[in-house]
Chains A and B, each alone.
Chain A
């Protein structure tokens, strides 16, 4: 860890803080932003997320070492935090800060991508079920009932037990494909509450084709709950990814993800707790921030709801 790395780290921290505060100041005029930032933790949460996203993007600049390099297997095994290794080193003498920084890339990317798969699938299913009612609704919602009946982790365990170690892309896809059930119910409920309203009827009466009615009149109303469920969804996917990696069936080593960093450290929890604590804290911090942002977004996007 050279002064240059420290400088980059501090610069990113400052950039995140300025970004969050600037966002609050820059949007002070809008009602939605005012409701958003009325949450005491919202600005802080935005800052935390910005910081981790910046770190993930600028990983090579922040990380002092190669995240997979075994620096000095005897001397640098399980070293506690120091100036050279601010978060210490792990059993394989790898620098934990470098792993954490590159792990941010993997963890955030898996979370975001799998959430995108889940939310878009959930939106499509919810829109179809809600708009076309009748048999399509019946079939799709029964499918959702079945999906919700199997705890997700067991579904993933089956998948992994059959396919062995999943490549990262398949892992993302699998997590996404098992995560859309709740979203589709949410969207369906929103669509059902709107489809009987006058303006949707009017559009239909004027002969607009279903696709147009859905995209122009129904979907925009479902956007707010979708955004909220996306924010909360990233957090839950990150927890799931960490859980799978912890069980040894998630992101394949030596690729660093926060989950398999905890898995790597769990055997040394008594002798080298820092190997487990720092990636865990990173997850907690990011997921807390995502949940806080999700809460604040819910209030910001739904004026009917009072802040609670």
Chain B
């Protein structure tokens, strides 16, 4: 087995809320590995902690009100990212680990040209001259498939469409050839046809450049098409991890089942109503006792209310689920 590139262990990111409202445990003991060259999908509804997890890796959580609890551990290239000094951290950000965001239009600085913004990281990290950095920026624009790249270099973000902006973001993120690309809902704000193009682009770039991708999304459809492995998050925890084919054929956690049932599928008659999970993600200040999913779970019994399940091996290779059903499969009854 290959060594993981990025090892996240017991990550806890809490937010102090306004006076008298307590602490929001947005990410509460998350562990997973990212292997070289793979695409790891992280899925869950909004509010489950997946974005906070991704921001925590590069320590982009605004402090205050947020803070990463001591005891959390994120290992990358033999070092704990959480204890790096500011200069050491800057040498990782944008250089070894890069990130792209959900809103490409607002994630680019409106008062600088696209070319300057792409070149900036190369100047800072690789000490390129302005001229060399500009040449590199042009090369990157070409790489991400932007038409007429020479002309785009001196454009400002407001002159470009959302899809082109996201390509620019990708060019900017990859300019230093990072080992890891964290993509936080990279296609959510875009049209469906553009979505597919961006995902294709990421796939192609991964094949060419060989970086690992952490793909954060609420859309299992995207995961099915792009990810090698999947981490399902709920209520600040990992509730299921599995290779993608395994997850889609043998999901163990009722939450994962619920997510899958809510994806429209071509292999089912269109008449069947889209299933959605009842209720909402609870507030991060007040996670339910026992299994955090039990108030919304169709199978929940006493034990689920009282005792929090650990991540249990399901028997499938690399497949774990945080659910008592794994230990007591006989309780899984068909429900109408």
- The answer to whether A and B touch in the complex, with CB atoms under 8 Å apart, is yes
Q: Name the A residues within 8 Å of B19 (CB-CB).
A: 34, 38
Q: Name the A residues within 8 Å of B191 (CB-CB).
A: none
Q: Name the A residues within 8 Å of B18 (CB-CB).
A: 34, 38
Q: Tell me the interface secondary structure of chain B in the complex.
A: loop
Q: Name the residue on A nearest B20 (C-beta).
A: A34
Q: Mark B1-37, 1 if CB is under 8 A from A, else 0.
A: 0000000000000000011000000000000000000
Q: Name the residue on B nearest A307 (C-beta).
A: B18
Q: In the bound complex, what is the Cα–Cα distance between A150 and B18 (angstroms)?
A: 45
A106 to chain B, nearest CB (A): 40
Q: In the bound complex, what is the Cα–Cα distance between A34 and B18 (angstroms)?
A: 9
A187 to chain B, nearest CB (A): 29
Q: Name the residue on B nearest A31 (C-beta).
A: B18
Q: Mark A23-44, 1 if CB is under 8 A from B, else 0.
A: 0000000000010001000000
Q: Name the B residues within 8 Å of A38 (CB-CB).
A: 18-19
Q: In the bound complex, what is the Cα–Cα distance between A38 and B65 (angstroms)?
A: 15
A28 to chain B, nearest CB (A): 9
Tell me which residues from 15 to 72 in chain B have a Cβ below 8 Å from any Cβ of chain A.
18-19
Q: In the bound complex, what is the Cα–Cα distance between A21 and B18 (angstroms)?
A: 20
Q: In the bound complex, what is the Cα–Cα distance between A200 and B18 (angstroms)?
A: 34
Q: In the bound complex, what is the Cα–Cα distance between A34 and B19 (angstroms)?
A: 9
Q: In the bound complex, what is the Cα–Cα distance between A38 and B21 (angstroms)?
A: 14
B24 to chain A, nearest CB (A): 16
A181 to chain B, nearest CB (A): 30
Q: In the bound complex, what is the Cα–Cα distance between A10 and B12 (angstroms)?
A: 53
Q: In the bound complex, what is the Cα–Cα distance between A38 and B19 (angstroms)?
A: 9
B55 to chain A, nearest CB (A): 18
A40 to chain B, nearest CB (A): 12
Q: Name the residue on B nearest A37 (C-beta).
A: B19
Q: In the bound complex, what is the Cα–Cα distance between A146 and B330 (angstroms)?
A: 81
A167 to chain B, nearest CB (A): 50
A64 to chain B, nearest CB (A): 44
Q: In the bound complex, what is the Cα–Cα distance between A38 and B18 (angstroms)?
A: 9
Q: Name the B residues within 8 Å of A34 (CB-CB).
A: 18-19
Tell me which residues from 219 to 260 in chain A have a Cβ below 8 Å from any Cβ of chain B.
none
B270 to chain A, nearest CB (A): 32
A121 to chain B, nearest CB (A): 37
Tell me which residues from 53 to 74 in chain A have a Cβ below 8 Å from any Cβ of chain B.
none
Q: In the bound complex, what is the Cα–Cα distance between A194 and B42 (angstroms)?
A: 39
Q: Which residues of A contact B (CB under 8 A)?
A: 34, 38
Q: Which residues of B contact A (CB under 8 A)?
A: 18-19
In the A-B complex, the 4 residue pairs with the smallest Cβ-Cβ separation, listed nearest first, are A34-B18, A38-B19, A34-B19, A38-B18
Chosen A-B contacts, 4 in total, with CB atoms closer than 8 Å, are: A34-B18, A34-B19, A38-B18, A38-B19
